[in-house]
Amino acid sequence: MRITTWNVNGLRAALGKGAADWWNREPSHALCLQEIRVRPEQLDAEQRDLVERIHGHAEWHPAERGGYSGVATFTQQTPLASTRGLGIEKFDVEGRMIQTKFPDFTLFNGYFPNGSRDHSRVGYKLEFYAELLEICDALHKEGEQIVICGDFNTCHQEIDLRNHKQNQKTTGFLPEERAWVDTYLQHGFVDAFRELYPEREQYTWWTYRSNARERNIGWRLDYFLVSESLLPLVKDVVTRDDIFGSDHCPVTLELDIE
């Protein structure tokens, strides 16, 4: 089973840059998009076809505010169940989470908040981390296996961004943000990519400024956290930094599940 996560930085813009050419050429069983910034009814017939051509089920969770945030999950097979949001209005109005249940695990497609350049939204961001973990803790207690994917808007370790010394006080690399990733790892999750590639410097986001992508001055913001019990089924985590269409690149988790 292949699951792909991609912050498309505006779905219509990404489609205009040929993003769908890639995901239709190399299809995943589940395609999780973040920062779609569009409602499905705002797409024309051709755009809808590009997105949903190979996916039998589409779950959209756009933000109430136009042109902002939003997530969407597309699957080749109809899942057992889908739930939009965390059940908390201040997060759900921003379209930040879709929960999808499969026979072997529950998939969370999340667009974690940005703490804002002036740090004004760091508290909101950390509360989002806390609320999601509470939901996951309950599922783990029930024996559920979980995959959390998406744009976490946080670099966990120094290896996860090129200029870590210059960004000690930048949101996305603040100690209190990084500590929440540690907390998830203490609650039965594993960072699948870092488990497989402990020393690889690999980024998933690059600012559009200063030719950062060409110079590979980036951040690893897009993750797959999987339940420890799922780790033996992880075949690979592939970062497709050769695929363009957004300031993020897609990342694919390959699971040994039919």
The domain that holds 173 is classified in CATH as: 3.60.10.10
Tokens for 17, please give them.
């840059």
- Mean pLDDT calculated for residue range 231-248: 98
Query: Of 92, 151, 160, 247, which is the active-site residue?
Result: 151
Which tops the pLDDT comparison, 52 or 80? 80
Task: Of 155, 126, 57, 50, give the one whose Cα is nearest residue 98.
Answer: 57
Can you state the angle between helices 122-141 and 175-186, rounded to 10 degrees? 0
Asked about 222 being catalytic, the answer comes back as no
Q: For position 56, what pLDDT does the model report?
A: 86
pTM of this structure: 0.97
Domain that holds residue 34: 2-255
Q: Which residues contact 97 (CB under 8 A, 6 or more apart)?
A: 61, 71, 84, 85, 86, 91, 108, 109, 110, 111, 132
Q: pLDDT band for position 53 (50/70/90)? A: confident
- 79 in Cβ contact with 101 (< 8 Å): yes
Question: Considering its fold, how many domains does the chain have in total?
Answer: 1
Tokens for 145, please give them.
């296996």
Cα Rg of the chain (Å, integer): 17
pLDDT, one tens digit per residue, over 77-106 is: 999 999 999 999 999 999 999 999 999 999
Q: pLDDT band for position 258 (50/70/90)? A: confident
